[in-house]
Amino acid sequence: MARNRDEVTNEKRIRRRRGGIRSKVYFTSFSRAYDLLGIQSLPLLLYYFYLENEMGRNFEGDFSVTGRLIFSEVVAGQVLQSGMKPPPGTSNVINYHLEAPEFKMTLPVQPRFSIPISHTVSVSVLVGRKDSNKVARIVNKSVFDYIDRTSYRTLAFDYLDFSPLYPFVSGIRAWISLLFLDDGNDGIIDVFGIVMDFCDAANTKDEVLWLLDLLDWK
């Protein structure tokens, strides 16, 4: 489970390297065009988060049911953009990460939940537009297959599904991080927050909104 982040994504990076570079160029062009035209991107968004426990053993040693829901939440975009105050006992590494200038969406988890690291946990994220009632997929059942204990995060990613209207935009990922506390138990992570970012191509709020505007809305 604890593989190096570069190892996790290396194969897909190789396959998509050329497309990813092209995507960055085209996405930058789209962003500048939106900025020049003064277009207001997606003013009202709702995000749907789902965390599921795949087949694994629970605390009693029994097999859990595949797809058992661990966490679900519907969150307004304004909430994700308002930042998050870590609980007492949070490591300085997480504090630095949350305070970094790059734009990220954060969601405090209340109440907190614990996950045995032997379990396979997947995440799905949808985003809905309130102006048209359309929905787009950001992450689809991506598995948290990397744990970074130095930064107290476990990570998953998925490639964004863009509209056919933008055939030259591809290879851009959404990253989901579960933030956890160091409670001294190496077998269980105590999750207190969720972070989503698009650091491949978008590091500001406006860039993220422009990026979401290009998704395959249905």
Evaluate whether residue 215 is within a structural domain.
no
Contact 197, 105 (CB under 8 A): yes
What pLDDT, in 10s, does the model give residues 2-59?
444 444 443 333 233 333 433 444 444 444 444 433 434 444 577 888 778 764 433 3
Beta strands 135-143; 188-197: pairing state: unpaired
pLDDT, mean of residues 119-129: 89
What pLDDT, in 10s, does the model give residues 58-94?
333 333 335 678 888 888 888 888 788 888 878 888 8
pTM of the model: 0.75
What pLDDT, in 10s, does the model give residues 164-178?
998 888 899 999 999
CA distance linking residue 137 with residue 162, whole number of Å: 9
Evaluate whether residue 207 is within a structural domain.
no
pLDDT, mean of residues 174-201: 88
Evaluate whether residue 80 is within a structural domain.
yes
Evaluate whether residue 82 is within a structural domain.
yes
CA distance linking residue 178 with residue 195, whole number of Å: 7
Looking at residue 105, what is its pLDDT? 92
Q: Reduced to 3 states, what is the DSSP secondary structure of residue 211?
A: helix
User: How many Cα atoms are found within 13 Å in the side-chain-facing hemisphere of 27?
Assistant: 29
Contact 47, 80 (CB under 8 A): yes
- Domain of 180, in residue numbers: 5-57+64-200
At a CB cut-off of 8 Å and minimum separation 6, what does 183 contact? 190
CA distance linking residue 64 with residue 57, whole number of Å: 6
Evaluate whether residue 53 is within a structural domain.
yes
Q: Is the pLDDT of residue 161 over 60?
A: yes
Count of structural domains within the chain: 1
What's the distance, CA 175 to chain centroid?
A: 4
